Amino acid sequence: MTETNRIAYLDSVRGLAAYAVVIYHYIYSFPQLGQTVLGKSLGIIFNGSDAVSIFFVLSGLVLSYKYFRKNESITNMPNYIIARLFRLYPAFLVVLVIYFVEKHWGELSWGFFLLNLTKNPFYFWEEALMVRDNHHLYLPGWTLGNELALSMLIPYLIILVRFDAKMFSYLLPITLVVGRLYLPVFLFHFCLGVLIAYYFTEIRNYDFSKHRYYKYRYWIYFLVFILFSFRHLDRIYRIGGGSLHYFIEEILYGDIFFITGIASAFILVYIINQVWIQKYLSIKPLLFLGKISYSVYLVHWTFPNHTIKLLEVLNLTQQSEVLSFLIGMIFLTFITLISATFLYYFVELPFIRIGKKIITKREASALPENK
């Protein structure tokens, strides 16, 4: 496989994770379904709550990958920050404004606009600036604040790994404590992703069939499934009567996201090593889903509720719950993908290009003049 700075099949993983978030929010918005065993089981299949662990491990991986591949320098922090801001912020701001207009549609006026511009009664500016714990319009926005903040640490994590990768891996447990007390818990996820990027070639080429634990591989697959689905399995059947959950969070002062982060790292390592999975992930529909995955994540928030309201207007919720759920799921998928495609091509992609142009100009201006 020819190495490039972008690994297309990993984009598909991000796309599938984003789609899982969409359906997950739909499941738990659907009347009564989210509280049934069926709904909770669907929550395992479309595990959107823990798909964020895949997002963060994957971000650590893809943001650092190219710097390890060619041993490229990451000393130009301004350019790196510009690229991240233009990648994440414009599309988020556009969607946030749309959510604000939707929520306050009946109140819109010039006076209402001035009130929010000056006195900010609904904390729009805090949410727009991704200030922590201000997510009134777009609840999943908490992940974006973490993503933006932690991605700024990537250059420093790369330097540490280059200095001593083994020492960096030994320090991983410390990130569990630091992440719980002082920084977002997803610092641990980013560190895992950076390590995977550093050892990417070794992981890709390693013959796991020769490992002494290969004969236990199905048990390992099952364990990874348990770790990634722990939160939802615990909802179906309180493991240890809820004592295990209590032990992790209160005694160990840990977080379930640490567990799903480890599982996510194993999943990504397996995908990187298995060519047959990469072939399935490289089909065009999944690659396109990966391309628009950030927009999918941004636009989907109100669509599950609107889909359910449409089903109620059509009296479909009075029919078979499973049938109405499937009809709604098809409609939700369609409207989300259409909206995400528009956001990607008309907002996300143009601003990514603007960011690249700014970086190109900065790099050109830094070169010595030809005489």
Tell me whether residue 1 is in a domain. Answer: no
The residue segments making up the domain with residue 146 are: 8-360
- Residue at 65 is within a domain: yes
Query: pTM value?
Result: 0.90
> Residue 140 has which token pair?
């999943």
Cα angle value 56/58/66 (rounded, 5°): 125
CA distance 324 to 137: 27
Residue 289, phi then psi, degrees to nearest 5 = -60, -40
Residue 182 lies in a domain: yes
Q: How high is the mean pLDDT in each 10-residue block of the chain (371 residues)?
A: 70 97 92 77 90 96 88 75 94 95 88 86 87 83 90 91 89 72 78 96 94 93 92 73 60 74 96 96 97 97 91 78 88 97 97 95 74 43
Task: Specify the pLDDT at position 123.
Answer: 84
The whole-number pLDDT of residue 303 equals 94
Task: Identify the pLDDT of residue 1.
Answer: 39
Check the CA dihedral 81-198-13-132 and report its sign. Answer: negative
On whether the CB atoms of residues 25 and 52 are closer than 8 A, the answer is no
CB 68 within 8 A of CB 200: yes
Over residues 112-147, the pLDDT tens digits come to 888 888 888 888 888 998 876 788 899 898 899 889
Does residue 366 lie within any of the structural domains?
no
For residue 254, the model assigns a pLDDT of 63
Vertex 211, ends 271 and 215: CA angle to 5°? 85
Cα(282)–Cα(292) distance, rounded to whole angstroms? 15
According to the model, what pLDDT value does residue 371 have? 43
Domain count, the chain: 1
Residue for token digits 């047959």? 276
Give the whole-angstrom CA distance, residue 361 versus residue 10.
30
Asked if residue 177 belongs to a domain, the reply is yes
Nearest to 262 by CA among 306, 216, 309, 227: 227
In the structure encoding, which two tokens stand for residue 284, read together?
A: 């065009």
Q: Could you tell me if residue 332 is inside a domain?
A: yes
